[in-house]
Amino acid sequence: MKKNIMEILESMSELFFELANATRLEIIHSLQKQKMRLSALAREIDVTVQETSRQLNRLAKMGIVNKSADGEYQLSLFGQHIMIILPVLLTLIVHREYFDTHSFLQIPQEFILGISTLISSKFTTHVMDAFRHVERVIKDAKERIWILSDKALSSTLPLIDRAIDSGIDFKVVLSKLMFNARDFVEDENETSEVRPDPNIMRFIDDVRLVIVMNEKQAVISFPRSDGTFDYSGFSFTDEQGLNWCKRIFLYYWQLASEYQA
């Protein structure tokens, strides 16, 4: 029988109540890594066997854990699904002050769960530190420089020129609204039409995310609630974070179009 909205909300309330306990969360986290017997699990979370058993019974009643035929406790399939979602909530808690004023709601839904990778990132608040980090990512590149940005940072243009000359895979997606072709002309007296190479530079109507990455580092910044950028954000060196930024960038790269004067 299909549940009504009140039944669904009551079930959600019960689930949140069971998750709102540090010991139960430790149990879930431990069982996410491996199946464990009661005594081993108690040692792992440094809680008495009796208390561990009591908390396991509560989690089992909610269908989050179960006991295998050989006596080992493990996350149920439902529990495994929960552990995919919980890291996103944890990320919001850890970086609540930032996400009180910055939004990731503009990211396509298929990338939202990747927000959890921010847990292992380095957080940068000062704008000048953020700019220096971006410059370092570009300068240190050996294989690729991919940029998604609302506008080109003038301080990075000489670095980008050298990177292109050295054969590095360079791709950039910029906002049509913020782009000025003259910024990319070395000779101020140049009068011919500037048409950026679509294999290197593409455009979308509105950029609401900043990504700068090479093969080993990535920087990502989210817009403030009013849509503007202060360029504070997060940097990655781990494979999971790099792959997440790579997938987001390629999504926008494929969505973008060549320059139309």
Q: What are the tens digits of pLDDT across the range 208-222?
A: 899 999 999 999 999
Confidence category of residue 200, pLDDT binned at 50, 70, 90 = confident
Summarised one tens digit per residue, pLDDT across range 86-130 is: 889 889 999 999 999 999 998 899 999 999 999 889 998 877 777
List the domains of the chain with CATH numbers.
5-88 (1.10.10.10), 101-255 (3.30.870.10)
Most confident among 172-176, 192-196, 239-243 (mean pLDDT):
239-243
- Own/partner contacts of 233-237, CB < 8 Å, gap of 24 or more, are 233/123, 233/124, 233/130, 234/118, 234/121, 234/122, 234/123, 234/124, 235/121, 235/122, 235/124, 235/133, 236/117, 236/120, 236/121, 236/122
Q: Which residue has the higher pLDDT, 23 or 158?
A: 23
Contact assessment for residue 175 and residue 204, using Cβ atoms and an 8 Å cutoff = yes
Q: Which residue has the higher pLDDT, 114 or 188?
A: 114
Q: What is the mean pLDDT of the chain?
A: 86
pLDDT of residue 192: 46
Averaged pLDDT, 11-37: 91
Confidence category of residue 191, pLDDT binned at 50, 70, 90 = very low
Question: Which pTM value belongs to this model?
Answer: 0.79
pLDDT of residue 146: 94
Averaged pLDDT, 133-159: 81
